[in-house]
Amino acid sequence: MIHLINYTGNIGCGKTTRLNEVIESYGLHDHAESLEKESNQLFILDDKILGFVFEPVDNNPFLLNFYMDKKRYGFLMEIFIIEYFNIRLSQLLDQYKLLNTEKDLYIYTDYGMPIVFINHLKSKDLLDDIRHRYLVDIYQLLNFEFIINNFDKIKIKYIDTSPEECLNNINKRNRGCEVEVSLELLNELDSMYKKSNNMLDAYIKKDKKNFKKIKFSEVEYIKESQ
């Protein structure tokens, strides 16, 4: 059985911290830095196989330019994120198949739901209708449908951190590309994340036939203090 466990949420909510805690819990802390840069390695344990996919930061060629000029680089940024996630998951799944093992595969990710950022860019008139529709379509194909078709069980763990605490975390980690992130932006994204989570919950409950192949859990909310 193939499992996907995705920690998601606002910028600065603690996604990467949670993923590193999972790595630490399995005694793989020596690999944490390399995994953040190149997420294509499987770890074979006695009872399971592990894989990790970090959202690209240092290896994202558009991130700095995106925060400087969202209208110019927003489209390229979202295509890169969507394709990156698809490629990294595909690499791990291909390696797992080659092992020809009965052990379950668990892939942990800190993927921040591009659809939220895509819709936010559209709401701010930073994407025209054509580019917005294209991004929604490739997200649906390369991420959402890809996951449904390739994973047996999926857990979405939403880290429910207040926008104020997110901004505090952003200031502490001091990434140069995030100096333009404002409390206003974090409040807007927080609202859109929760709306997206509610829609996903409703979709799962309403249209079970699309999930008959997998056990797709409802969105789990994790308070930042937990």
- Contact status, residue 161 vs residue 175, Cβ threshold 8 Å: no
Give the pLDDT of the chain (226 residues) as one tens digit per residue. 999 999 989 999 999 999 999 999 999 988 877 777 776 789 999 999 999 999 988 889 999 999 999 999 999 999 999 999 999 999 999 999 999 999 999 999 998 888 999 999 999 999 999 999 999 999 999 998 899 889 988 888 889 899 999 999 999 998 888 888 999 999 999 999 988 876 666 555 555 444 444 444 445 656 554 4
d(Cα 149, Cα 107) in Å, to the nearest integer? Answer: 15
Q: Which residue type sits at 117?
A: F
Q: How far apart are CA 132 and CA 129, in angstroms?
A: 5
pLDDT at 165: 95
Query: Residue 203 corresponds to which tokens in the numbers above?
Result: 């979709």
Q: What is the pLDDT of residue 222?
A: 61
Superfamily of domain 2-223: P-loop containing nucleotide triphosphate hydrolases (3.40.50.300)
CA distance 124 to 119: 9
Here the tokens at position 102 are 């009965």
Nearest residue to 21 via CA among 7, 2, 1, 39: 7
The C-alpha atoms of residue 176 and residue 171 are separated, in whole angstroms, by 10
Residue at 12: amino acid letter: G
How high is the pLDDT of residue 200?
A: 62
Angle (CA) 51 54 40, round 5°: 45
